[in-house]
């Protein structure tokens, strides 16, 4: 039992099955840089406070650098017997420095150590993801910028509704991902808390300086309650919640790109570089990147359910259940990063079929609302005008025509207020141009919105 850092109280050896079941090293070994960074800051603080000598502190700091190099170079053997990354680092530090390594764990517990490691890791990953989201927003704006005047059908209930600009559509997603950036930035305030020094749950009797450790590790503040610090994982729940919302936004975009790339829509062509073929049907070109992003959304939402379920009934303070927090966290980070990376690259290689989009606006009575608006401008109440427009649509359908194909005589049968100017009023470009309310799809408003987005991104 001497091999176990906690083995003094135990007589029997740990069952090999229990060692495997209890170990988390296969998952948490990716925290080694955070773990070593936290340990070195802890040593610096203990030296300052006179808890260990300067000589011992220097020896251990250098020894941790050696351990890090070993892990960087894949020279460390991982074993279930050492359970987790903390015990692997400490054990290997002993190989490098000898018995002085036993002083490293003074004034702390694995409970506050792992809480620190995860916060260091997640702070770095959150900042990376914020930048990746901004890069993806830039790709959306680039696509919008190239399509400021590209008219396409807007849909509600997946039915053609009113004409919009493709740039307006892309900027809708820009706004969604802008909120995703805001959520991650907001969560950093609650994530940026230093828990080390809380020990197992009650704090420590050693004269530590938590504020100093906090400063060394570049956290904004220390945790206020030692029990909360070691048992809190709501920062992980919050992150995965935000990531789930972001993935749902990506999934919605995926669905539209998939539809638009079908022969039925034929609005876009996705580059061969981001599509695949069929093993049996030679003609196929499948939007697999989009489908995978749509599918991986379920993984991230599942990770959220997993961490919520793990935490829902845990008493204070630390419980081994919380070892299950890392797999959903790491998988969420990895999944969101690869999805954003793929989409940022893919958007730059989409061909937009502008003529096809414009042609699609010519059928389906997308000008019916403007027909009603024309009557409102003539003094008819909107509800009455709506009814008149509906009757005109029904009549045109019976004739196999669009509203703009009806003769003036036919139109005047629904209202004698209709004049020849109706045709210009319900023309495609006129309909788009008039929608200049704030946030609307009018040419001027969308162009200004593209410029504003570019300015926000510094491009």
- Which residues are tagged catalytic? 157, 278
Residue 26's closest CA among 292, 322, 330, 269?
A: 330
Q: Where are the alpha helices (DSSP H) in 278-353?
A: 288-311, 326-347
Q: Is 172 left (phi over 0), alpha (psi -120 to 50) or beta?
A: alpha
Residue 66's closest CA among 117, 31, 116, 101?
A: 101
Distance of CA 395 to the CA centre of its chain: 48
Alpha carbon distance 72, 195 (integer Å): 26
Alpha carbon distance 69, 79 (integer Å): 18
Alpha carbon distance 268, 148 (integer Å): 16
Alpha carbon distance 50, 106 (integer Å): 12
Q: What is the DSSP letter of 269?
A: E
Alpha carbon distance 59, 80 (integer Å): 27
Two tokens, residue 413: 């049968």
Helix (H, G, I), strand (E, B) or coil at 87: helix
Two tokens, residue 236: 């992980």
Contacts within 8 Å (CB) and 24+ apart, 224-228: 226/112, 226/197, 226/198, 226/199, 226/201, 226/202, 227/198, 227/201, 227/202, 227/316, 227/317
Residue 260's closest CA among 129, 382, 354?
A: 354
Beta-bridged to residue 155, according to DSSP, are: 160
Contact 243, 332 (CB under 8 A): yes
Contact 199, 109 (CB under 8 A): yes
């Amino acid at each position: 039992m001497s091999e176990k850092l906690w083995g003094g109280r135990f007589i029997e050896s740990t069952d090999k099955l229990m060692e495997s079941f209890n170990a988390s090293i296969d998952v948490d070994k990716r925290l080694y840089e955070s773990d070593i960074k936290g340990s070195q800051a802890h040593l610096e603080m203990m030296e300052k406070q006179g808890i260990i000598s300067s000589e011992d502190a220097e020896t251990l700091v250098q020894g941790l650098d050696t351990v890090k190099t070993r892990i960087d170079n894949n020279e460390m053997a991982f074993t279930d017997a050492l359970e987790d990354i903390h015990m692997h680092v400490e054990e290997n530090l002993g190989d490098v420095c000898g018995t002085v390594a036993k002083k490293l764990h003074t004034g702390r517990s694995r409970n506050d150590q792992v809480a620190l490691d995860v916060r260091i890791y997640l702070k770095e990953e959150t900042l990376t993801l914020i930048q990746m989201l901004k890069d993806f927003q830039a790709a959306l704006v680039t696509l919008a910028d190239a399509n400021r005047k590209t008219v396409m059908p807007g849909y509600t209930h997946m039915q053609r509704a009113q004409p919009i600009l493709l740039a307006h559509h892309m900027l809708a997603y820009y706004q969604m991902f802008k909120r995703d950036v805001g959520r991650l930035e907001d969560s950093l305030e609650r994530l940026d808390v230093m828990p080390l020094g809380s020990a197992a749950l009650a704090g420590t009797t050693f004269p530590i300086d938590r504020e100093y450790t906090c400063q060394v590790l570049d956290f904004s503040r220390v945790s206020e309650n030692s029990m909360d610090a070691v048992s809190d994982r709501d920062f992980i729940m919050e992150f995965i919640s935000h990531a789930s919302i972001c993935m749902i936004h990506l999934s919605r975009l995926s669905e539209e790109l998939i539809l638009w790339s079908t022969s039925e829509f034929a609005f876009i062509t996705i580059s061969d570089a981001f599509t695949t073929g069929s093993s049996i049907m030679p003609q196929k070109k499948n939007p697999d990147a989009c489908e995978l992003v749509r599918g991986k959304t379920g993984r991230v939402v599942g990770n959220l359910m997993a961490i919520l379920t793990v935490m829902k009934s845990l008493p204070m303070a630390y419980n081994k259940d919380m070892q299950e927090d890392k797999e959903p966290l790491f998988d969420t980070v990895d999944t969101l990063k690869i999805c954003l990376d793929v989409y940022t690259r893919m958007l730059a290689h989409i061909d937009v079929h502008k003529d096809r989009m414009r042609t699609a606006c010519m059928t389906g009575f997308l000008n019916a609302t403007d027909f009603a608006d024309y009557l409102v401008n003539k003094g008819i109440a909107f509800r009455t005008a709506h009814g008149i427009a509906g009757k005109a649509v029904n009549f045109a359908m019976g004739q196999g025509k669009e509203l703009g194909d009806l003769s003036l005589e036919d139109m005047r049968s629904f209202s004698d207020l209709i004049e020849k100017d109706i045709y210009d009023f319900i023309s495609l470009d006129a309909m788009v141009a008039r929608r200049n309310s704030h946030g609307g799809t009018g040419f001027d408003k969308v162009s200004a919105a593209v410029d504003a987005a570019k300015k926000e991104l510094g491009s």
